[in-house]
C-alpha cells in the first residue's frame, strides 16, 4: 500500500498537554493527523495521511440516514525503551471486518488496516503523553458516503483512523467498584441482528439505557437476553464474575454479544493468571443466588478503554440492591488488571505476537 502524506510540523514534547503532573483525560485530545482511504468502483483506493480536520460529506450520505457505519477501539503504549507498541491490533482488524460483513460494508484487508494504523502512529508519535498509565487510543472506522436515499448498501465508503492521546481511564486510580443496573426494560440486541458487530447504531441505542442507569446511581446497564433470563454484557463491555475457587466466568459469546478483545485475551491468559478462565451460559436467577450465597466473590466488565471495570453491587428497577463480596475491588480483579496492563506496557512477557513494535520511518 503506497500512502501519500500531507503533514503538519511535528508537535514539540514540551507542550503543556504533556506535563507529567497533569492528566490529559481519556479520549479528549486528537493528534495532528488522520489516515483516510476511500472505497469506490469496487476497490479501496487513495490511502493518505492528512491534517486532522472536518470531512466533506453529502447531506444524503447513507451513513447519516441509515447508520451504515462501524468502528474499532485499540491502544498503543510506550515501553521503557522509548518505542511505541500496539496491543493485539490484528484482532481489532479482524473484528472490524466481522462488523463490516454484518452491515454489508466491503472488507478491508487486515494487513492494510494495520499498516495504516502504524503509519499514522509513526507520524504522530510525539503526541504520546509523557505520564504514567498513558496510551494512544486508536479509533479506526468506516462509514458509507454515497449520496442516496434508497435503503440499500452504499457503493462508496471512507475508512478513517484517528488517534487520541489519553491518560489512565481511572483518573483516581483503580480502587473504586461501580454499580450496575439490572434492567428488564432495556435490551441491547436480539438474535439475528447487529449485536455481534461494533456498529455505530448499537451505541446510539444504548444512550437511553445509560441515562436510566444514572437515575439509579449506576454506571451502566447489565443487559439481559430478550427473555430476561440470561446475562449478556455490560453497556460497552463484556461481563465477568469470579467464583470462590478463583475461577473466572465470562458469558458465552453469541450473536447478541460483541466479542471483546480483552475478554478473548483473558481467556488465553488463564495459566499466567494462575486460575481457570471459562465461558458459560449465565442464568440471571443463578447469578443472583450465587452472589447472595457467597459463591460469587467478585464481578466486573472487560473492555479496551477501562481494561477491567470492577463491579461492587447491582441495583434492580425496584431499587433492590445486591452487593458482591464486600463491595470493593477484589484481589482477583486487581491481578487480572495488573497482568494485562503489564503485558501492554512491556513489563511482562505475553503470548507471542500480542505486542507489535511500530517502526520509525518518518520520525
State residue 14's pLDDT score.
44
My answer on whether 55 and 156 are in the same domain is yes
Q: Is pLDDT at 39 greater than 80 in this prediction?
A: yes
Query: Does any domain span residue 307?
Result: yes
My answer on whether 163 and 301 are in the same domain is no
What mean pLDDT do residues 241-263 have? 96
Find the CATH number of the domain harbouring 185: 3.20.10.10
- Domain boundaries, position 158: 4-168
My answer on whether 119 and 200 are in the same domain is no
Q: Is pLDDT at 15 greater than 70 in this prediction?
A: no
Q: Is pLDDT at 142 greater than 50 in this prediction?
A: yes
My answer on whether 301 and 153 are in the same domain is no
* Cell 493528534, located at residue: 31
Q: Is pLDDT at 172 greater than 90 in this prediction?
A: no
Q: How many domains does the chain have?
A: 2
Q: Is pLDDT at 295 greater than 90 in this prediction?
A: yes
Which has the closest alpha carbon to 178: 169, 187, 166, 167?
Answer: 169
Q: Is pLDDT at 167 greater than 90 in this prediction?
A: no
**Rounded Cα–Cα distance for residues 312 and 320 (Å):** 14
Find the CATH number of the domain harbouring 80: 3.30.470.10
End of a domain among 147, 168, 189? 168
HEC assignment per residue over the chain = CCCEECCCCCCCCCCHHHCCCCCCCCCCCCCCEEEEEEEECCEEEEEEEEECCCCCCCCCEHHHHHCCEEECCEEEEECCCCCEEEECHHHHHHHHHHHHHHCCCCCCCHHHHHHHHHHHHHHCHHHCCCCCCCEEEEEEEEEECCECCCCCCCCCEEEEEEEEEECCCCCCCCCCCEEEEECCCCCCCCCCCCCCCCEHHHHHCCHHHHHHHHHCCCCEEEEECCCCCEEEEECCEEEEEEECCCCEEEECCCCCCCCCHHHHHHHHCHHHHCCCEEEECCEHHHHHHHHHHCCEEEEEEEECCCEEEEEEEEEECCCCEEECCCCCCCHHHHHHHHHHHHHHCCCCCCCCCCEEECCCCCC
pLDDT tens-digit readout, 72-105: 999 999 999 999 999 999 999 999 999 999 999 9
Q: Is pLDDT at 23 greater than 80 in this prediction?
A: no
Contact 140, 92 (CB under 8 A): yes
My answer on whether 238 and 335 are in the same domain is yes
My answer on whether 156 and 183 are in the same domain is no
Q: Is pLDDT at 273 greater than 80 in this prediction?
A: yes
What mean pLDDT do residues 344-348 have? 96
Q: Is pLDDT at 170 greater than 80 in this prediction?
A: no
Query: Does any domain span residue 123?
Result: yes
My answer on whether 148 and 218 are in the same domain is no
Kindly report which listed range (9-13, 220-224, 272-276, 330-334) carries the lowest average pLDDT score. Answer: 9-13
Grid coordinates of 178? 461501580
Task: State the pLDDT confidence band at 11, using cuts at 50, 70 and 90.
Answer: low
Q: Is pLDDT at 18 greater than 60 in this prediction?
A: no
State residue 130's pLDDT score.
83
Amino acid at each position: 500500500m503506497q500512502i501519500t502524506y500531507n503533514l503538519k510540523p511535528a508537535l514539540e514534547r514540551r507542550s503543556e498537554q504533556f506535563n507529567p503532573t497533569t492528566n490529559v483525560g481519556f479520549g479528549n485530545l486528537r493528534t495532528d493527523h488522520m489516515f483516510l482511504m476511500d472505497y469506490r468502483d469496487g476497490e479501496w483506493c487513495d490511502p493518505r495521511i492528512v491534517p486532522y480536520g472536518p470531512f466533506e460529506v453529502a447531506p444524503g450520505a447513507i451513513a447519516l440516514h441509515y447508520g451504515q457505519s462501524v468502528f474499532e477501539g485499540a491502544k498503543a503504549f510506550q515501553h521503557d525503551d522509548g518505542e511505541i507498541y500496539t496491543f493485539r491490533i490484528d484482532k481489532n482488524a479482524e473484528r472490524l471486518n466481522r462488523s463490516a460483513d454484518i452491515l454489508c460494508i466491503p472488507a478491508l484487508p487486515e494487513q492494510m488496516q494495520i499498516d495504516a494504523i502504524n503509519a499514522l502512529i509513526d507520524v504522530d508519535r510525539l503526541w504520546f503523553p509523557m505520564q504514567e498509565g498513558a496510551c494512544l487510543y486508536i479509533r479506526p472506522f468506516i462509514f458509507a458516503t454515497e449520496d442516496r436515499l434508497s435503503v440499500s448498501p452504499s457503493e462508496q465508503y471512507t475508512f478513517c483512523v484517528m488517534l487520541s492521546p489519553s491518560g489512565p481511564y481511572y483518573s483516581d486510580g483503580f480502587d473504586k467498584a461501580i454499580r450496575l443496573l439490572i434492567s428488564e426494560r432495556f435490551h441491547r440486541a436480539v438474535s439475528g441482528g447487529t449485536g455481534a458487530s461494533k456498529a455505530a447504531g448499537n451505541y446510539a441505542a444504548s444512550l437511553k439505557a445509560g441515562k436510566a442507569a444514572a437515575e439509579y446511581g449506576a454506571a451502566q446497564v447489565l443487559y439481559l437476553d430478550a427473555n430476561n433470563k440470561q446475562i449478556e454484557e455490560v453497556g460497552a463491555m463484556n461481563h465477568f464474575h469470579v467464583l470462590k475457587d478463583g475461577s473466572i466466568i465470562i458469558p458465552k459469546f453469541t450473536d447478541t454479544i460483541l466479542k471483546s478483545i480483552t475478554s478473548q485475551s483473558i481467556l488465553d491468559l488463564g495459566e499466567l493468571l494462575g486460575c481457570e478462565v471459562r465461558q458459560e451460559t449465565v442464568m440471571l436467577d443463578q447469578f443472583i443466588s450465587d452472589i447472595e450465597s457467597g459463591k460469587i466473590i467478585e464481578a466486573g466488565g472487560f473492555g479496551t478503554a477501562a481494561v477491567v471495570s470492577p463491579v461492587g453491587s447491582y441495583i434492580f428497577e425496584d431499587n433492590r440492591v445486591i452487593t458482591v463480596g464486600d463491595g470493593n475491588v477484589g484481589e482477583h480483579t486487581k491481578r487480572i488488571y495488573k497482568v494485562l496492563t503489564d503485558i501492554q506496557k512491556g513489563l511482562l512477557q505475553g503470548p507471542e505476537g500480542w505486542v507489535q513494535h511500530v517502526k520509525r520511518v518518518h520520525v
